[in-house]
Chain A
Amino acid sequence: MNSADPASDQNFFVARRSVFPKAVDGPFRRFKWLVMAVTLAIYYITPWLRWDRGPYAPDQAVLIDMANRRFYMFQIEIWPHEFYYVAGMLVMAGIGLFLVTSAVGRAWCGYACPQTVWTDLFVHVERAIDGDRNAQMKLQAAPWSAGKIARRVTKHGIWLAIAVLTGGAWIFYFADAPTLAGQLFSGTAPGVALATIFVLTLTTYIFGGLMREQVCIYMCPWPRIQSAMLDEKSLMVTYKGWRGEPRSRGLKRQAVDAPVAYADMTPPPALVPTGDCIDCNACVAVCPTGIDIREGPQIGCITCGLCIDACDKVMAQVHRPAKLIGYTSVADTQIAMAGGTPPSPLKRLMRPRTLAYGLIWGGIGLAMLFSLGTRTRLDLSVQPDRNPQWVRLADGDIRNAYTVKLRNMESRPRTVEVAIAGIEGGKLWSETGNRDGAGTTVKLVLAPDQVAEARLFVAASANGPEHADIDFSVRGLDVEAGGATTGSRFERPDDDNDKEGE
């Protein structure tokens, strides 16, 4: 590049600009504490909940059993072929995010996203070790000393400890938690568990401790998608510039505000065009992503609301109305700027778009619940032998063979009966039985929570259609009964009545 080119004067790559969020208290901060406590509690406690399923199934309430391909969630057990429930849950999660975003903007980013929760946790650790914003900035600028090294080692040590615990908790979802915990302490845990802990430790430490807002700004696709999900009625954290501008502070403000006695708590007369913003930068200081909300909506804003808490405090001190920064929508902004009174936020939530999302979300949920409630836990699939399609027996009858897979999805052994229907004079027997004395049913004992495979034979007269429909059904012989029916084919020789050679 040409040296005269101004672009060549700048660096192609820039280091992260450190963010030192200042501590703040207020309703949004307390809400964040609450969400953090709840989400972390769910994350750490869930694998340790027990749920009695009898002797043939694990007693862990939530368990993703990869080895046996089962997913347990309280009384629900999902088999691989029922994966559409998981797909449905993911669809619900997606629609739910659409719903939340169109209603209250990037609430997910600000409060519930794991990146936000863990970053928040790491920031608090940093504050406990290094002090608040100013102390942290001072420490970073200070030359290396024993004290600084000690603080840094302590901070990163605690971060790493949290990271290890984060990765360590994750693996308990995939194996029996108490057993795996025992293995971890005795050093006999499987390698894949240790590798998972290692990788998650690394990602937690790097994302939560070192990269923080960079994950949201550069790596996460969700802020971009949300930009498209927001509309003029979505709630966003907004700096109400028509109230705040022109901002002023210090001597300049003293000059224009001089005639006003603040002590009488009356607002300053509108003699000079000064806005409510006193340019104290409190909103910038507390921002965990280091942005200035006064520049307007931007991709770096995760709408955590901490700037609202900070600004409200300042507004109270300078006797101005609260919510110079607050949750509002573009539409409400326009109403407010025109001097009107915006409708209540609750009214804003009830609009066709959010209602449609809500209905879709609820509809999928109800459909899944209905299908969960009515699904069979005893199922079969039938595959007829294709080579040979039929076998002629010594007495001239025709025999077909079928591979029948029986799914006993209950956590207990079951005695079931497989029956055929639709073939006149058809006889059914299993590999261990024989044709003599065969009827139209076969009794089988199925192992708990497993797929059983049985080879079944059906014999019938050679007189009949070349391709006949045959129904296989299975039903439980115990109290719960239940079962399923599936269709297959019974094949006979082509044009059977024409004897060979004639």
Chain B
Amino acid sequence: MADDLKPAPGPRVDAPTGTSTVGHQWDGIEELDTPMPRWWLLTFYACIVFAIGYAIAYPAIPLANSATKGLLGWSSQGDLATELAGEAARQAPIKLALAQLPIEQLPGNPQLLRAAERGGKSAFKVHCVQCHGAGAAGSKGYPNLNDDDWIWGGDLGALQTTLINGIRHPGNDETRVSQMPAFGRDEILQKNEISDVVSHVRVISGQDKPSAAATRGAALFEANCAVCHGAAGKGNRELGAPNLSDAIWLYGGDRATLTTTIVNARGGVMPAWGARLDPVTIKMLAAYVHSLGGGEANPVVAIAAAEPEVTSQ
């Protein structure tokens, strides 16, 4: 320890190298004060010069509310604006083509269809997820757009119509409207009759085995419901009457929910997007929803009607 505490020998010239030492020592080890190469110093000065130039050319010095702008006027927001403008320019011809092409002919142009689906996916996240959910799986009262059951039709044209005019959208003459009577509230059917109809619907949808109540309900169904839902309960898209015999329920297929539905009727509303979105975005949304897995082929009539337009282009 005593050796360690000895005062430093002081700087001296190291004989083998001819270089001065720094002057301190630890355990007899001294440090040479080897000079730095000059180019290192010049590089350091060059970095300082570069930094000054950089601070003048680019935003650098923070001020109270903003920062110095820099002579070049560069900003990251400017870069973003340039990128967005470039993207808009890239999309312009796609959007133009989409605007000119009737939606029924979209499947004939796979590249454009793919572009429309991608655009629709983005637009869906902005306008539709609030009700239909991020995965378009819906929830009670808001239809699942992934499945193959459609109340108003699932081909591209029908989807476009639904999107433009909405469902029960007040103030839109073209909107899709169906009005189920409130059989219980308006006292069209008695409580026990409603229970029988529920039993019948549970049977035709394959959830319950036939029973006496269901047989009674069948007659009531024939008299009160079949006019819209069809004798077999298969529904009618012209009238917007849902298929009651399949596995998909908008509000629920259990007894309690079915009873509520028959007593009070249902009438969900979807906005008419034609007034809020441009036609291209609506086409994109229709294409996206159609691509989710439940999309239906164009009705044969629609293709035939669209054919002359193809040849005229």
Question: Which A residues form the contact surface with B (CB < 8 A)?
Answer: 5-7, 9-16, 211, 214, 218, 385-388, 391-396, 399, 401, 431, 434-435, 455, 457, 499-502
Contacts and interface: CB of A to CB of B under 8 A. Distances in A.
A388 B146 contact: yes
A12 B134 contact: no
Given A388-B146, A392-B147, A14 B246 contact: no
A392 B252 CA distance: 13
27 contacts: A6-B11, A6-B12, A6-B13, A10-B19, A10-B20, A11-B35, A13-B40, A15-B37, A214-B37, A388-B135, A388-B144, A392-B144, A392-B147, A394-B147, A394-B148, A394-B149, A394-B246, A394-B247, A395-B246, A399-B146, A431-B291, A435-B148, A457-B293, A499-B207, A500-B249, A502-B254, A502-B255
A7 B12 CA distance: 8
Given A385-B135, A388-B144, A388-B146, A394 B39 contact: no
B35 A14 contact: yes
A461 to B, nearest CB: 12
A253 to B, nearest CB: 24
A391 B145 CA distance: 9
B137 A391 contact: yes
A14 B37 contact: yes
B23 interface: yes
Contacts of A388: 133, 135-137, 144, 146
Contact of B293 (A6, A391, A394): A391
Contacts, number: 106
Interface in B1-51: 11-13, 19-23, 33, 35-41
Contacts of A218: 37, 40
Given A391-B147, A392-B248, A13 B137 contact: no
Contact of B144 (A11, A391, A434, A502): A391
Nearest to A10: B20
B257 interface: yes
Contacts of A7: 11, 20-23, 33
Contacts of A10: 19-20, 33, 35
A499 B35 CA distance: 86
A13 B11 contact: no
B217 interface: no
Nearest to A432: B110
Interface of B: 11-13, 19-23, 33, 35-41, 133-137, 144, 146-149, 206-207, 243, 246-249, 252-257, 291-294, 297
Binding site secondary structure of chain B: loop
Question: Which 3 residue pairs across A and B have the least CB separation, nearest first?
Answer: A501-B254, A387-B135, A388-B137
B38 A16 contact: yes
Nearest to A431: B291
Given A393-B148, A501-B254, A16 B137 contact: no
A12 B38 CA distance: 9
A386 B137 CA distance: 11
Contact of B137 (A5, A11, A387): A387
A394 B248 contact: yes
A211 B134 CA distance: 61
Contact of B252 (A13, A394, A501): A501
Contacts of A13: 35-38, 40-41
Contacts of A385: 135
A13 B11 CA distance: 18
A9 B23 CA distance: 14
Nearest to B149: A394
A499 B249 CA distance: 12
A394 B37 CA distance: 81
Contact of A393 (B134, B135, B247): B247
A392 B149 CA distance: 10
Nearest to A218: B37
A500 B135 contact: no
A303 to B, nearest CB: 22
A500 B33 contact: no
A393 B149 CA distance: 7
Interface centre among B135, B252, B255 (most CB of A within 10 A): B135
Of B148, B248, B257, B297, most buried by chain A (CB within 10 Å of CB) is B148
A6 B20 contact: yes
A211 B254 CA distance: 85
A135 B38 CA distance: 26
B169 to A, nearest CB: 26
Contacts of B148: 393-394, 435
A160 B256 CA distance: 89
B115 to A, nearest CB: 14
Nearest to B205: A396
Contacts of B247: 392-396
B91 to A, nearest CB: 20
Contacts of A211: 39
A7 B23 CA distance: 9
A14 B38 contact: yes
Nearest to A462: B247
B150 to A, nearest CB: 9
Contact of A16 (B37, B134, B149): B37
A228 to B, nearest CB: 19
Contact of B253 (A12, A399, A501): A501
B146 A391 contact: yes
A386 B12 CA distance: 75
A394 B244 CA distance: 10
Contacts of B20: 6-7, 9-10
Contacts of B243: 394
Contacts of B257: 500-501
A54 B14 CA distance: 69
Given A211-B39, A214-B37, A500-B252, 5 more contacts: A13-B37, A388-B135, A396-B206, A399-B293, A500-B254
Contacts of A393: 147-149, 247-248
A211 B256 CA distance: 88
B209 to A, nearest CB: 13
A392 B250 CA distance: 12
B9 to A, nearest CB: 12
B39 A214 contact: yes
Contacts of B35: 10-14
Contacts of B133: 387-388
Contacts of B144: 388, 391-392
A395 B146 CA distance: 14
Contact of B255 (A387, A457, A501): A501
A374 B248 CA distance: 49
A7 B135 CA distance: 75
A6 B19 CA distance: 10
Nearest to A394: B246
A391 B136 CA distance: 10
A111 B247 CA distance: 78
Nearest to B147: A391
A499 B256 CA distance: 13
Nearest to A501: B254
A5 B246 CA distance: 99
Contacts of B38: 13-16
A190 to B, nearest CB: 18
Contacts of A395: 246-247
A402 to B, nearest CB: 11
Contacts of A499: 207, 253-254
Contacts of B206: 396
A502 B205 CA distance: 15
